[in-house]
Amino acid sequence: MKKILNFIGGNFREAKTGDFIEITEPATGQPYAILPRSGKEDVDEAVVSAESAFEEWKRTSLSERAGYLRKIGDLIEEQLEELSVSESIDNGKPLKLARSVDIPRAAANFRFFADAITQFSSESHEMPDEAINYTLRQPIGTVACISPWNLPLYLFSWKIAPALAAGNCVVGKPSEVTPMTAYLLSQIVMDSGLPPGVLNIVHGLGGEVGQELISHRGVKAVSFTGGTETGKKIASVVAPQFKKMSLELGGKNPTLIFADCNYEKTLSAVLKSAFANQGQICLCGSRILIEDKIYDKFKKDFVERAGKLVVGDPVLPDTQLGAVVSKDHMNKILGHIKTAEKEGGKVLCGGQRIKVDGRCKKGYFIAPTVIEGLSQECSTNQDEIFGPVVTIAPFSSDKEALEMANGTSYGLATSIWTQNLSRAHKLSAELDFGIIWVNCWLLRDLRTPFGGMKNSGMGREGGLEALRFFTEPKNVCIKY
Ligand code: TXE
C-alpha cells in the first residue's frame, strides 16, 4: 500500500487524528493506497503556515516567483513518466492520455503563469480635473484551491499556479478519489525550494476537510472545480462570508453538426469529444445534435466507430478508453443508462459494463454508449452523466438546433461543425455557453477566459482572468 501524506509548512504529515482513507485502483478494483483523513486541526495548521509565509511571499519579486513556478514546471516535465503512470493508476485513464495531455498540461500551467505574472499590469484613469486614478492589484492572502478527480493534476495546477504567481499562499485540497499526483507534486514543490508554507496540500473528504477549509476565517478566497451540487453547497458557505469565489461546475454540452461540415474530420473529432477520458471531462459533448439531411449516415458511421473503440487496460498502448473512476461512479453511469431506456431511449451501442481479462478483470469499464430517441427535456438530456454515454438527435433548421442546444440549465461548452462562416458567427453569438468551439474541440489557448454560464459556474479561469481573480483591486485617486 502506498501512503499519501499532507504537505503543511514544508513538512509531510499524517492527519492529526491519525485516520486514513483507503483508495482503489479503478482498472483493477484493488485497494492500492491510503491518504490522510484530515479535518479541522489540519486545516488550522495549514492556514497558519500559509499566513506566516504570506508576508514574505507577497513581497517576493515577480521574476523570483516566476522562477519558482518555472522550476516546478521543469520538475514535472522531468518526472513525466512517473507522474503519468501514477495518474493513470489513480484515475483509470489511458496511460498515453496522461502522458500526452494531463501531465504536460500541468507543467504548462506552471510555466504559463510564470510568464503571465511578469506581463500582468493594471489600469490608470486620468480625470479632467487634474487627478489620476490607478489600480493596485494586490495578492489576497491565503486562498483555497479545491479540485476534482477527472483531470487531477491538470486542474489542481490550473488553480495553484495563478494563485501563487499572484503572490498568494495556497491551501490546496485535491479530490480524495485521485490524490496521488497532488502528493507527488508536494514532493516536487519541496525540491523546487519554494519557501515552506507558500503551498500547503491537505487530503481528505470533501464534506470534512473541504468544508473546514472553505469555512475557515483565514481563507480569503475559494477556487473550486467539481459538481454543480457541491458548488451550491460551497457557495452557501462562502457567499455569506463575502469571500471571493470562483466556481467551475458541470456541463451538458451540445455538439451541433451541420450537413455542410467537413464530414470525416467532424466524425473523428466528435467521437473524441464524446468519449475522451471515458466521457469524464466537463467539456465533453454529450448531446450530439445532427442536421436531419445527414442524420442517418452520421448515426451509422458514428455508432460503428464508437463500437470499435478499444476499451481496456489503461497501460496498453492500443487502449482508447480506460476504466471510469470508481465503482460508485460506474454504478451511477449504469443507472443513467437504465433511466434513458425507461425514458424511451434506444441504446444503439454499448449500454453495459465490460469485463476485461487478466489483471483488470475486476475493473470498472463501461462500453461507449450511444442512445437515440429521447427528447431534449428528459433527464438523460438534462443531467450531467459524466461517463462514456451520449445521446444523438436530429434537427431541421438553425433555429431548432439553437433551441435544442440552449435548452439546458448548464452553459459550459459547445461545438459547432459547419463550413458556413456566417452561420458559425451567428450561432456563436446566440449560444448560451462560456466556451464555443467551431470546427474543433478542446483546442485550448491558456490566455482565453475559461468557464461557464448558468449552472456551469461563476467567474472565469485562464490568463488574466485568473490573475484578476487571485488579486484584490484597490483604486488610488490622486489630485495633482
Ligand atoms: O465531485 P465533487 P465528485 C461532476 C460529475 C461527478 C460529480 C461528482 O458529474 O459525477 O461532479 O463528482 C471537494 N466543501 N464533476 O464527487 O463532490 C471534493 O473533496 C468543500 C464535474 O468528485 O464536486 C473534491 O476535492 N469541498 C467536474 C472536489 O470538491 C468539497 C469534475 C470535487 O468534488 C465539499 C468532477 C464541500 N462540502 C466531477 N464536497 C467538472 N465540471 O470539471 C466535496 N468537496
Closest alpha carbon to 323 in 293, 269, 280:
280
Read off the pLDDT of each residue in 314-336 and give the average, rounded to a whole number: 98
Question: Does ligand 1 have an atom closer than 6 angstroms to the CB of 250?
Answer: yes
- Known catalytic residue: 248? yes
pLDDT range class, residue 199, cuts 50, 70, 90? very high
Report pLDDT for 412.
Answer: 98
Report pLDDT for 69.
Answer: 98
Question: Does ligand 1 have an atom closer than 6 angstroms to the CB of 154?
Answer: no
Question: Does ligand 1 have an atom closer than 6 angstroms to the CB of 386?
Answer: yes
Tell me phi and psi for residue 115, to 5 degrees: -70, -45
Dump pLDDT digits (tens) for 334-391: 999 999 999 999 999 999 999 999 999 999 999 999 999 999 999 999 999 999 999 9
Q: Say how many domains are in the chain.
A: 2
295 and 385 assigned to the same domain: yes
Report pLDDT for 153.
Answer: 98
161 and 226 assigned to the same domain: yes
User: In CATH, what number is assigned to the domain containing residue 325?
Assistant: 3.40.309.10
Dump pLDDT digits (tens) for 5-49: 999 999 999 999 999 999 999 999 999 999 999 999 999 999 999
Average pLDDT, the chain: 98
Report pLDDT for 308.
Answer: 98
Question: Does ligand 1 have an atom closer than 6 angstroms to the CB of 384?
Answer: yes
462 and 345 assigned to the same domain: no
- For residue 259, the Cα-to-chain-centroid distance in whole angstroms is 32
468 and 390 assigned to the same domain: no
Cell numbers for 355: 469485463
Distance 143 CA to ligand 1 centre (A): 18
Indicate the Cα dihedral angle 228, 230, 233, 238, nearest 10°. -90
Cell numbers for 472: 484584490
Question: Does ligand 1 have an atom closer than 6 angstroms to the CB of 291?
Answer: no
Tell me phi and psi for residue 258, to 5 degrees: -100, 155
Distance 474 CA to ligand 1 centre (A): 33
Residue 189 maps to a domain: yes
- The secondary structure of 377-411 as a DSSP string is TSHHHHS---SSEEEEEEESSHHHHHHHHH-SSEE
Report pLDDT for 219.
Answer: 98
- Residue whose Cα lies nearest atom 30 of ligand 1: it is 206
Q: pLDDT over 70 for what percent of the chain?
A: 100
**Alpha-carbon separation of residue 137 from 165, 246, 473, 475 (angstroms):** 12, 18, 5, 9
Report pLDDT for 440.
Answer: 98
Residue 188 maps to a domain: yes
242 and 317 assigned to the same domain: no
Residue in 282, 291, 360, 372 annotated catalytic = 282
227 and 291 assigned to the same domain: no
298: domain range?
253-445
59 and 110 assigned to the same domain: yes
Dump pLDDT digits (tens) for 72-120: 999 999 999 999 999 999 999 999 999 999 999 999 999 999 999 999 9
Read off the pLDDT of each residue in 308-329 and give the average, rounded to a whole number: 98
- Residue whose Cα lies nearest atom 16 of ligand 1: it is 227
Whole-prediction pTM value? 0.97
164 and 301 assigned to the same domain: no
Instruction: Give dist(CA 476, CA 480) in Å, integer.
Output: 13
- Known catalytic residue: 284? no
Residue 397 maps to a domain: yes
Closest alpha carbon to 105 in 142, 71, 153:
153
195 and 293 assigned to the same domain: no
Report pLDDT for 55.
Answer: 97
129 and 183 assigned to the same domain: yes
175 and 305 assigned to the same domain: no
Report pLDDT for 177.
Answer: 98
Distance 404 CA to ligand 1 centre (A): 27
Asked if residue 377 lies in contact with residue 407, where contact means CB atoms within 8 angstroms, the answer is yes
Question: Does ligand 1 have an atom closer than 6 angstroms to the CB of 312?
Answer: no
pLDDT range class, residue 398, cuts 50, 70, 90? very high
Distance 228 CA to ligand 1 centre (A): 8
Residue 11 maps to a domain: yes
Instruction: Give dist(CA 4, CA 383) in Å, integer.
Output: 34
Distance 227 CA to ligand 1 centre (A): 5
Asked if residue 414 lies in contact with residue 423, where contact means CB atoms within 8 angstroms, the answer is no
Dihedral over Cα of 267, 272, 275, 279: its sign: negative
Amino acid at 265: K
Instruction: Give dist(CA 218, CA 245) in Å, integer.
Output: 14
268 and 377 assigned to the same domain: yes
Residue in 14, 25, 208, 248 annotated catalytic = 248
pLDDT range class, residue 279, cuts 50, 70, 90? very high
User: In CATH, what number is assigned to the domain containing residue 129?
Assistant: 3.40.605.10
